[in-house]
Amino acid sequence: MNSIVLGIVSFLYLGGLFVVAYWAESRTDKGKSLVNNAYVYALSLAVYCTAWTFYGSVGRASTKGFDFLTVYFGPTFVTALFWFVLRKIIRICKVQRITSIADFISSRYGKNKSLGMLVTFLCLFAGIPYISLQLKAIDSSFAILSGIHSSGYVFTDHTFYIVILLSVFTILFGTRKLEATERHEGMVFSIAIESIIKLVAFLVVGSYVTWIVFDGMGDVFMKAQKLQDSHKIITFSTEKDESTWFWWTILSMAAFMFLPRQFQVSVIENVNEKHLKRAMWLFPFYMVLMNIFVMPVALSGNLIFQGQNINPDNYVLAIPLHFSNEFLALSTYIGGFSAATSFIIVETIAISVMVSNNLLMPTLLGIPLIKNLISLYPSNFIQGIRRFSIIAILFLGYFYFKNVGEKYSLVSIGLIAFVAVAQFAPSVIGGIFWKGGTQKGAMSGLIAGAVIWFFTLIIPSIINAGIFPESILKEGLLGLSFLRPFELFGMIGMDSISHATFWSLFFNIGLYIFVSLFSKQTSIEHNQAVLFVDVFEFSHSNENSTIWRGTALMKDISSLLTSFIGQTRSDRVLRLFANRNQINLKNKYADPKIVNYTEKVLAGIVGTASARMMVSSVAKEEEISVDEVIDILKKSQELMAVNKELQRKSDELKVLTEQLRAANEQLQLTDKLKDDFLSTVTHEIRTPLTSIKALSEIVFDNPDMEFEEKQHFLNTIVKESDRLGRLINQVLDLEKFESGKLRVTVEPIRVDELILDSIEAIEQLAKEKGITIKKVIYKNIPKINGDRDRLMQVLVNLLSNSIKFVEPKKGIITVTAYPQESKVTVNINDNGMGIAPEFHELIFDKFYQAQDQTIRKPKGSGLGLAISKKIIELHNGQIWVESELGKGAKFVFEIPLN
């Protein structure tokens, strides 16, 4: 392929990256962030998969078999613990305004300057070769595709121009804001897009090799069986393989979270802790997809290029080229390019923040002359330093690649970096779960780990480069046989990476624990230890949990802040904080809380150690003893516990009050109902009573009344007394139902008999009025369980209601009964005056008719339907009416079987 075309494609791709990042940033400025999204977060974590994954895994698999997988299994085990470990780290970083892994360790162990420097140095030593490795991948993929091995240096080398573009991108989207705690949304979004590109590219080339070049995965593996040593690739053949497997898994578990790029995207760029949930399974799944074709492609490469001198790291590109599929080769090139660039961008930002905040700033601030210079234009200065670091890191990577990097395979440089980063694990994990870890412990552990890493992995590579004599490897340093880099203290039987991992972590963890146990913390160390370990308890009221005592002029503090973030912002920030905590800003001396807060804001810009140096330069600090710190923290913790308890109690009270209120409302309602009920009952009783009284008085006053007339009056009196009696019985019934005293006596009943009996009871009344009663009863209705007398009461009541409301002579009443799935339904239809829909529910209320005399003339107590409803409900059934004015009424009730 033409190298010019390839160059143009590469530059166009980078241009696209600029556009994407710029677009994402402008969305953020408009408040429509694209990055506040769990999927984008999960994809950005995939920056883990670099060119090492894209090219190197295949290379490793084709010669050594499965051990490349450990680098993905380790992180998968760790993601299971994200919710428990990483979430805590994220919370701590947000609360403490921590900007990098170096800052984290330095802040945890008493805001110690030297610890931050040590971590930064390790990251630099591990990171620069790692960056050069990515450049190497870009360069060699370019060479393979174009067929031109670029032998040029700097201006004649296309990689040089790519490095320039990458530094422009990183500076533009990585140092836009002064605060290193600010998220870089444009950068994160473009990383997420690159993650998609590299995955798709790899899946496409993998599918091509597996299904187009070969006939499926089975075919590849079967053919590969004929290869010499194939069993060594698809199985573990030696004991060394087993120990490699174990130690590499441990190594990638220890390193995964603390790789500078990983810490940057997973902690610093995290928008919302909840995004972790999605990422915890999506990210490992991404890794599965990324690795699924590695083995088939590796074996295919071995088959196709059998006996040819082709670097297995380049199989993914060489295979499509071999079959002259240039387009596919190009898309694969783009995938590898995106894997490499995403790594370079994030790693450079992460390390540049460390270099500026933990290495350069604290050093420069320690020199009085420079310190005065900085204080003139602090913000320009810091940004300048950060940009300078970015350029320096990228070009150091470039020169490393040009001079040293060409000698190593992708995987070995990556693993060497892993061992360096794994050294942070003891101090970080210990630091967030164990308050006893001390600065001296962390320092000695880290130094020991770093020294062993350097001796067992870096010295041999320098020896390989021919700088040191080879005798060191065989005879040991200074001729001491126990100081052989690959067999330290005479331990044999491990590969160099496992060997280095074991010894460095052994000394690191051991010294961290033992020195911590035998050394004392200063007050600030203890303070930080508590704030880190108990972050979830303190993070709510965190603003005031750092203990500081001393005096500082308010003027000095505010001018310090102003010089970094400008007059307007510093005024606003201080005012808001003062309002929240009720502090008077007009006082001559600054409140300790203000001093603390200022330090924290500055820490987000220049790093914890430098912020502390700057604040202490304007403030006179008093020493506080560890006991005091412990005491104050304990008190505030107790206070918080009491607060929590109070909150809980007040919540409980709220619930109780709510319940009480509801109960009260219910009571008032019942009370009102009772009043209504009483007044209607008395009203209903008074009507017959009045007529009885009036008629008896007439009879009494007229002793010579005619017999017939007297008979008539007395008859009415008897009728009215009956009505009164019925009413009282019904009231009593209803009362029994409502108080739940009345229980139904359940027996199996035949529905047809029940209906016939009811009709018989009421037939006489119907005949008198000339009303026809029809019945439609289905056969085979199953027996229902119920109280026979009560159900008959319902039927009689409904029937007599209908008789009352149909026109005499013309009235037709139809009773229908039929079974349904799990119930029996009975309908009583009439052709009477009907009931308007709005009253369909009301008529089942007590004395409803009494409340609305216009609908129906009272001919009963008004309790019949209410009682019927109660009875049906007691049978777990339902009763309702379907009707319209003038179209008759249909009363329906259902009784469930069983």
Partner 1 sequence: MESSSKENKVSKKGENNKLKSRNMPGIQKKQRLIAICVLFFCLLNFPILTIFNVNKYIGGIPILYIYFIAIWLIMIAAIMFIIEKRDKDGIDEI
Of 536, 331, 363, 362, the C-alpha closest to 433 is: 536
Please tell me whether residue 749 adopts helix, strand or coil conformation.
strand
**Which of the stretches 49-57, 277-285, 515-523, 579-587 binds partner 1 when contact is defined by CB under 8 A?**
277-285
What residues have CB less than 8 Å from 379, skipping those under 6 apart? 178, 563, 564, 565, 566
Strand partners, 828: 815, 891
Q: What does the alpha-carbon distance between residue 226 and residue 128 come to, in Å, rounded to a whole number?
A: 41
Phi then psi dihedrals of residue 273, to 5 deg:
-60, -30
Site string for partner 1, 244-263 (x = CB under 8 A): -xx--x--------------
**Which of the stretches 95-103, 243-251, 300-308, 343-351 binds partner 1 when contact is defined by CB under 8 A?**
243-251
For the bound state, the minimum distance from the C-beta of residue 219 to partner 1, rounded and expressed in Å, comes to 7
| Interactions with partner 1, residue window 307-346 (CB under 8 A) | none
Element (H, E) at 472: helix 471-475
**Which of the stretches 83-91, 454-462, 557-565, 876-884 binds partner 1 when contact is defined by CB under 8 A?**
83-91
Please tell me whether residue 893 adopts helix, strand or coil conformation.
strand
Tokens 């005949």 label which residue? 767
**Which of the stretches 219-227, 380-388, 477-485, 499-507 binds partner 1 when contact is defined by CB under 8 A?**
219-227
Q: Which is nearer to partner 1, 283 or 400 (CB)?
A: 283
For the bound state, the minimum distance from the C-beta of residue 576 to partner 1, rounded and expressed in Å, comes to 27
Percentages helix, strand, coil for the chain (3-state, rounded to 5) are: 70, 5, 20
For the bound state, the minimum distance from the C-beta of residue 254 to partner 1, rounded and expressed in Å, comes to 13
Q: Which is nearer to partner 1, 651 or 747 (CB)?
A: 651
Please tell me whether residue 806 adopts helix, strand or coil conformation.
coil
For the bound state, the minimum distance from the C-beta of residue 95 to partner 1, rounded and expressed in Å, comes to 15
Phi then psi dihedrals of residue 809, to 5 deg:
75, -40
Q: Which is nearer to partner 1, 286 or 400 (CB)?
A: 286
**Which of the stretches 79-87, 303-311, 378-386, 662-670 binds partner 1 when contact is defined by CB under 8 A?**
79-87
Q: What does the alpha-carbon distance between residue 174 and residue 349 come to, in Å, rounded to a whole number?
A: 6
Is the Cβ–Cβ distance between 80 and 255 less than 8 Å? no
What residues have CB less than 8 Å from 89, skipping those under 6 apart? 104, 257, 267, 428, 432
Q: Which is nearer to partner 1, 39 or 536 (CB)?
A: 536
Is the Cβ–Cβ distance between 618 and 557 less than 8 Å? yes
Q: Which is nearer to partner 1, 214 or 805 (CB)?
A: 214
For the bound state, the minimum distance from the C-beta of residue 495 to partner 1, rounded and expressed in Å, comes to 15
Site string for partner 1, 86-125 (x = CB under 8 A): -xx-------------------------------------
For the bound state, the minimum distance from the C-beta of residue 77 to partner 1, rounded and expressed in Å, comes to 5
| Interactions with partner 1, residue window 38-77 (CB under 8 A) | 66, 69, 73, 76-77
* Residue in 234, 630, 689, 897 binding partner 1, rule: CB under 8 A: 234
| Interactions with partner 1, residue window 498-537 (CB under 8 A) | 536
Q: What does the alpha-carbon distance between residue 414 and residue 620 come to, in Å, rounded to a whole number?
A: 47
Q: What does the alpha-carbon distance between residue 704 and residue 696 come to, in Å, rounded to a whole number?
A: 14
Q: Which is nearer to partner 1, 627 or 645 (CB)?
A: 645
**Which of the stretches 39-47, 238-246, 682-690, 728-736 binds partner 1 when contact is defined by CB under 8 A?**
238-246
* Residue in 5, 8, 19, 80 binding partner 1, rule: CB under 8 A: 80
For the bound state, the minimum distance from the C-beta of residue 436 to partner 1, rounded and expressed in Å, comes to 21
Q: Which is nearer to partner 1, 644 or 686 (CB)?
A: 644
What angle (nearest 5°) sits at the alpha carbon of residue 257, between those of residues 253 and 261? 130
Q: How many CB atoms lie within 10 A of CB 17?
A: 25
* Residue in 9, 217, 310, 833 binding partner 1, rule: CB under 8 A: 217
* Residue in 15, 16, 152, 216 binding partner 1, rule: CB under 8 A: 216
Of 163, 104, 165, 102, the C-alpha closest to 135 is: 163
* Residue in 117, 257, 290, 295 binding partner 1, rule: CB under 8 A: 295
Q: Which is nearer to partner 1, 152 or 218 (CB)?
A: 218
Q: What does the alpha-carbon distance between residue 169 and residue 21 come to, in Å, rounded to a whole number?
A: 9
600 lies in the binding site for partner 1 (CB under 8 A): no
Tokens 């001093």 label which residue? 595
Site string for partner 1, 644-673 (x = CB under 8 A): xx--x-------------------------
Q: What does the alpha-carbon distance between residue 398 and residue 403 come to, in Å, rounded to a whole number?
A: 9
* Residue in 84, 155, 700, 707 binding partner 1, rule: CB under 8 A: 84
Q: How many CB atoms lie within 10 A of CB 309?
A: 5
| Interactions with partner 1, residue window 559-588 (CB under 8 A) | none
Structure tokens at 118: 């040590």
Structure tokens at 618: 């304007």
* Residue in 18, 221, 468, 589 binding partner 1, rule: CB under 8 A: 221
**Which of the stretches 241-249, 503-511, 596-604, 616-624 binds partner 1 when contact is defined by CB under 8 A?**
241-249
Structure tokens at 390: 């970015």
* Residue in 56, 129, 174, 284 binding partner 1, rule: CB under 8 A: 284
Is the Cβ–Cβ distance between 355 and 124 less than 8 Å? yes
What residues have CB less than 8 Å from 423, skipping those under 6 apart? 122, 445, 446, 449, 450, 453, 504, 505, 508
For the bound state, the minimum distance from the C-beta of residue 88 to partner 1, rounded and expressed in Å, comes to 8
**Which of the stretches 278-286, 719-727, 849-857, 877-885 binds partner 1 when contact is defined by CB under 8 A?**
278-286
Structure tokens at 56: 């190197």
292 lies in the binding site for partner 1 (CB under 8 A): yes
* Residue in 115, 162, 191, 280 binding partner 1, rule: CB under 8 A: 280
* Residue in 211, 281, 713, 880 binding partner 1, rule: CB under 8 A: 281
Q: Which is nearer to partner 1, 246 or 323 (CB)?
A: 246
Q: How many CB atoms lie within 10 A of CB 784?
A: 22
Tokens 């330095």 label which residue? 106
- Sign for the CA dihedral angle at 77, 83, 89, 90 comes to positive
**Which of the stretches 167-175, 235-243, 310-318, 580-588 binds partner 1 when contact is defined by CB under 8 A?**
235-243
For the bound state, the minimum distance from the C-beta of residue 410 to partner 1, rounded and expressed in Å, comes to 21
For the bound state, the minimum distance from the C-beta of residue 42 to partner 1, rounded and expressed in Å, comes to 12
Is the Cβ–Cβ distance between 783 and 750 less than 8 Å? yes
**Which of the stretches 183-191, 281-289, 422-430, 453-461 binds partner 1 when contact is defined by CB under 8 A?**
281-289
In eight-state DSSP terms, residue 774 is E
For the bound state, the minimum distance from the C-beta of residue 343 to partner 1, rounded and expressed in Å, comes to 23
* Residue in 32, 149, 177, 231 binding partner 1, rule: CB under 8 A: 231
* Residue in 27, 64, 277, 322 binding partner 1, rule: CB under 8 A: 277
219 lies in the binding site for partner 1 (CB under 8 A): yes
Q: Is 469 exposed, middle or buried (0-12, 13-18, 19+ CB in 10 A)?
A: exposed
What is the SS3 string spanning 278-331? HHHHHHHHHHHHHHCCHHHHHHHHHHHCCCCCCCHHHHHHHHHHHCCCHHHHHH
Phi then psi dihedrals of residue 881, to 5 deg:
-125, 145
Element (H, E) at 772: strand 772-777
For the bound state, the minimum distance from the C-beta of residue 645 to partner 1, rounded and expressed in Å, comes to 6
Q: Tell me the number of residues near partner 1 by CB under 8 A.
A: 41
Report the interface residues with partner 1, using CB under 8 A: 66, 69, 73, 76-81, 83-84, 87-88, 216-219, 221-222, 231, 234-236, 242, 245-246, 249, 277-278, 280-281, 284-285, 288, 292, 295, 536, 641, 644-645, 648
